[in-house]
Amino acid sequence: MSRPLLLSLLLALLLIVAGCAKRPTEPNKDRLSLESQIPFVGYPYHLVVGGDWLYGALDQGGVAQYNANDHRFNMYNQLVAEDGSEVVLYRIRKVGYVPEREMVFINEVRGTDQVYIAKANDPDSLRIFDAITGETQDIQDIICRNLENDPDGNILEVLYCTIATIKYGRFNGSLWLGSELTINTELSIASLDMDDQYIYVAGQQAGLFIYSRTDGKLISNINTVGDVQKVVVAGDKAYIAAKHNGLKIVDLSDIEHPFELGSYETTGYATDLAYHNGKVILASGSGGAYYFDVSTPHRPKLIQRMVEPGYALNVAFMQGKAVIATRSNGLFIYKK
């Protein structure tokens, strides 16, 4: 074989190899990086975010409080009532927060289960001034939202559930007068969400159930989305943490006929998630946390899996950052 021909063959071979070689991929601009890790004492049962503040229910650890602006972190295992008496926090399982009214709702489960209502206008000194008592045993979830221009002068609304019962009431800012809507179900409820018309219920193995806020009647349900642990509704989509089935997305555009639109299987048990601006963060237990782009809901795209935190229990979005509460490693905050 002539030398020129051999050189030509070698050159052709090099071009083929170069063409087949894996080209470097551009870094994903949506990926998050760890900003901080905050240790705490207790077991994080629940997180809630409002404005610049995050509150956490830490069981025997009491209540955690974090400010996104100055990174202040406080833990409360006792509070002061308006009469000056001290209230010890023994077993805190759920927490709600209404930033517009600077009020915190704290679910205590030791003894007689109740929900303390505390003023948070001085964030360094939460003060209890009222409580929700009765029909509060074994609360599974609580949602507290601001009200504007309520015809009866109430300033916020509270939705909560026990294992099989849903309660809704409005609060005038000084005295809890009781719930005005009760929905008795045959479900084992894990969590709730609501909008102006409907209440969305995570019924665990029974699926997702949708009730009317007007009269409490069942509108529809879908039982093909796995073990529904957490539901978050944004627009006409429901985002579901479905335990060993991972992430499920349900189309609600026809509220009487919801259907599964997209899904993504995860490692571990998916028990909590949060949605913000086309992104979902999902806590999947021993599988860590998963961060998705759901702007194309029929095909959710995994952006990143975070395993550094360890066993992920609860998640939230706060000012565009992802917050992960873990079983034993504290609070992890990720930013772009």
Q: What is the DSSP string of 202-269?
A: E-BTT-EEEEETTT--EEEEE--S-SB-EEEEETTEEEEE-BTT-EEEEE-SSTTS-EEEEEE--SS-
Residue 222 lies in a domain: yes
Q: Report the CATH number that the domain containing residue 147 is assigned in CATH.
A: 2.130.10.10
Does residue 156 lie in a domain region? yes
Cα 1 to the center of its chain, rounded Å: 70
Comparing 224-228, 273-277, 303-307, which segment has the lowest mean pLDDT?
224-228
pTM: 0.90
Q: Do 229 and 191 touch, CB atoms closer than 8 A?
A: yes
Residue 226 lies in a domain: yes
72-94 confidence digits (pLDDT tens): 999 999 999 999 999 999 999 99
List phi, psi (to 5°) of 243: 55, -120
For 256-265, the pLDDT digits (tens) are 999 999 999 9
- In which domain, by residue range, is 221 found? 41-262
Residue percentage of the chain with pLDDT more than 90: 88
Is 253 inside any structural domain?
yes
In a domain, 28, yes or no: no
Does residue 154 fall inside a structural domain? yes
Per the domain annotation, does 33 fall within a domain?
no
In a domain, 196, yes or no: yes
pLDDT above 70 for 311: yes
pLDDT surpassing 50 at residue 214: yes
Q: How many domains does the structure of the chain reveal?
A: 1
